[in-house]
Amino acid sequence: MVVGAGIVGAHIALELVRRGERVVLLDAGEPGHGCSFGNAGWLTPCFAMPLPAPGVFRQALRWCLDPASPLRVPPGLAFTQAPWLLRFALAATPARFEAGTRALTQLSLLSLQLYERFAHELAAAGDPGFGFTRAGLLMACETREGLNAAHEELRLAALQGVRGEALDAAALRAREPALRGPLEGGVYFPDEAHVQPLAAVHAAVREFVRLGGRLRTHERLTGFDTHAGAITHARTDREQLAARHAVGHVVLATGTWTRELGRAFGVRAPILGGKGYSMMAPALQPPLRSPVMLLERKVAVTPYTDTTRIAGTLELVAHDDGVSPRRVQAIIAAARRALPLPESAPLTPAWHGLRPCTPDGMPIIGRAPGFANLTLAAGHQMLGLQSAPGTAQLAADLVLGTKPVVDPAPFRADRF
């Protein structure tokens, strides 16, 4: 049983059924309608870096009183989540950041290859696919400080084998004529890709079902029955009855919910929500040639055929699922300052979701301590979409006891 039909859970279920396993994919709602629904849709190994980078905690402290800042740690969180924040601060060292970047880039590069292969397989079968497009990724900078930060990202990506090139202001405008306003320059990564995020979940679920997997939606996991350190049955709330499912192995791919579920089962998964927002606008005129990161405001803009997705900000929260109008307006203002987005352009209401963030910025992928047949796959911060197929291969290897496709040590579940 794989619990959670977001992008990570859908790909784990698909990978297991491809390997000949009998798999049930369980979700409390509809597939892909959690955090996978409204993200920017990027498959960008150039951004495969842990959130606790050197200096980021000091920057967050400077921004903590600005409710519209790109990264915000609300002051009250210091009292309610002090152990998490302490772990975050201790993880923000150059050595740990570089090691984490290596592991995350490897997982992201593998996933990019698997996405491209999957897209070709679906196209050959006449499936509509999920909008896989390799148009690169452009970082646009308004200030010298921002450009220096972009050049550092370029350096770090190059160390991991990710191609990129520095652009001065003239070259930046030539590559992306839609950009406007003050520009110092930027960086272009030519090999990155983007997709329609919800369509990516649905494509994986369709293939899972086609291969014989069983999908159960609107059914919430409520508990486990165990014997001798192993899960024997999973209990759910289907039809308000004590529905019980005999299971050989359980994979929790439940995003921010993993913390509460784990606590109920005696498993530590220190995951906070990284709240972000997105909205859809009409296609820009002139249209964007590739996705763009407006670096100083950390706003992501993704072009599709008829629409443009605008997404951004990260606010660490424990349980707050409300919408901050100031943060939404800051995203829109940044997009209008840098792109031809008219004041009259209709925007969809702001969607918001909670990206699952661990204190060391690394996902939890591994066997849960104390259980012989429970594996966790959660805590991917902003990298769930771009690392899902690689995560699925690693998780399937760990479940089935085969040689791991990547080194599992950086992701092990017992590190907390």
* Pair of tokens at residue 147: 């450009």
318 occurs within a structural domain: no
Look up tokens 């939606």; give the residue. Answer: 217
Please count the other Cβ atoms lying within 10 Å of the Cβ belonging to residue 357.
26
Kindly give the confidence (pLDDT) of every residue in the chain, 416 residues in length, as a single tens digit, with 9 standing for 90 and above. 999 999 999 999 999 999 999 999 999 999 999 888 889 999 999 999 999 999 886 776 666 666 666 677 776 777 788 899 899 999 999 999 999 999 999 999 999 999 999 999 999 999 999 999 999 999 999 999 999 999 999 999 999 999 999 999 999 999 999 999 999 999 999 999 999 999 999 999 999 999 999 999 999 998 899 999 999 999 998 865 567 889 999 999 999 999 998 888 889 999 999 999 999 999 999 999 999 999 998 999 999 999 999 999 888 887 777 888 888 999 999 999 999 998 888 999 989 889 999 999 999 999 999 999 999 999 999 999 999 999 999 999 999 999 999 999 999 999 99
65 occurs within a structural domain: no
300 occurs within a structural domain: no
What pairing do the DSSP bridges indicate for beta strands 193-194 and 42-43? Answer: antiparallel
The answer to whether residues 71 and 314 touch, using CB atoms and an 8 Å cutoff, is yes
What is the domain-level CATH number for residue 399?
3.50.50.60
Q: Which domain holds residue 35?
A: 1-47+93-132+194-269+361-416
By C-alpha distance, which of 252, 243, 251 is closest to 225?
A: 243
| DSSP bridge pairs for 315 | 72, 275
180 occurs within a structural domain: no
394 occurs within a structural domain: yes
264 occurs within a structural domain: yes
103 occurs within a structural domain: yes
Number of domains within the chain: 1
The answer to whether residues 102 and 411 touch, using CB atoms and an 8 Å cutoff, is no
325 occurs within a structural domain: no
CA distance 6 to 182: 39
pTM, entire model: 0.95
- Specify the pLDDT at position 78: 73
By C-alpha distance, which of 76, 98, 78 is closest to 88?
A: 78
Helical packing angle, 197-210 and 7-18, nearest 10°: 30
CA distance 142 to 298: 12
